Every structure is written in C-alpha cells, then in structure tokens.
Amino acid sequence: DTGVSQDPRHKITKRGQNVTFRCDPISEHNRLYWYRQTLGQGPEFLTYFQNEAQLEKSRLLSDRFSAERPKGSFSTLEIQRTEQGDSAMYLCASERGGAYEQYFGPGTRLTVT
C-alpha cells in the first residue's frame, strides 16, 4: 500500500454515460497526476496538478475528460459521454515536490459496454 487510494476500483458503465473517479494522494504530496493504461501498454500521461492548479494536460486528452483538485488534496477525474475506447485502467499518482518519484494508487478499472 503506497498510501494513494482510488475509488471505485472497478466501474462498468454503458456507452454515453458519465463517470467520475476519485483519487486521494499521500497527504504531504503537492503534485498529483492522472494516467490511463491499456492492456500491454505503459501508463499514458493525462494531466497534472500542483496543489489545486491544473498545470498541464496531454494533447491527447479529449474535451470529454475533465479533472479537478479543488482544495489541493483529493482529485476527481470525470469522463462525459463515455465511449468504448475509454475502457482502460485509470491510475493516479502523487509526488512530493522535488522528490521526483511518483507513487501510484491501485487504479480504477473502467469498462464501457
């Protein structure tokens, strides 16, 4: 257990529905990252927060995806109008600024039917 938690661990939804995932980072970590991972691939960067500010988003991130970190603690990732291609593991990672290694949560497995 790295201290990063994610909820839910699994989500099955129908195409077109909206879903929201939550990530609770290690408490003293000010940086938080979201990744997407599909089978046989490494994690793919989606977006990054420093405290409550979203500082970077992947060019690949569809406008159906939005993320927030309202008080610089937990974060949510919302996917609107889900598509079958959104099926993947969504990973959250946190980092203490300057330490450079990221600690990952267990992930949320999304299946879009």
Partner 1 sequence: EDQVTQSPEALRLQEGESSSLNCSYTVSGLRGLFWYRQDPGKGPEFLFTLYSAGEEKEKERLKATLTKKESFLHITAPKPEDSATYLCAVRDGVTGNQFYFGTGTSLTVIP
**Residue 73 per-residue DSSP state:** S
**Residue with Cβ nearer partner 1 (67 or 105):** 105
**Contact criterion met (CB below 8 Å) for 26 and 4:** yes
Handedness of CA 13, 18, 24, 28 (dihedral sign): positive
**Residue with Cβ nearer partner 1 (40 or 70):** 40
The count of other CB atoms within 10 Å of the CB of residue 58 is: 15
**Residue with Cβ nearer partner 1 (45 or 74):** 45
Min. distance of Cβ 104 from partner 1 in angstroms? 4
**Residue with Cβ nearer partner 1 (58 or 66):** 58
By CB under 8 A, name the binding residues for partner 1.
Answer: 2, 4, 33, 40-45, 48, 55-56, 58, 91, 93, 100-107, 109
Six token digits for residue 16:
């077109």
CA–CA separation, 91 and 6 (whole Å): 8
**Contact criterion met (CB below 8 Å) for 75 and 22:** yes
Min. distance of Cβ 41 from partner 1 in angstroms? 6
Min. distance of Cβ 16 from partner 1 in angstroms? 27
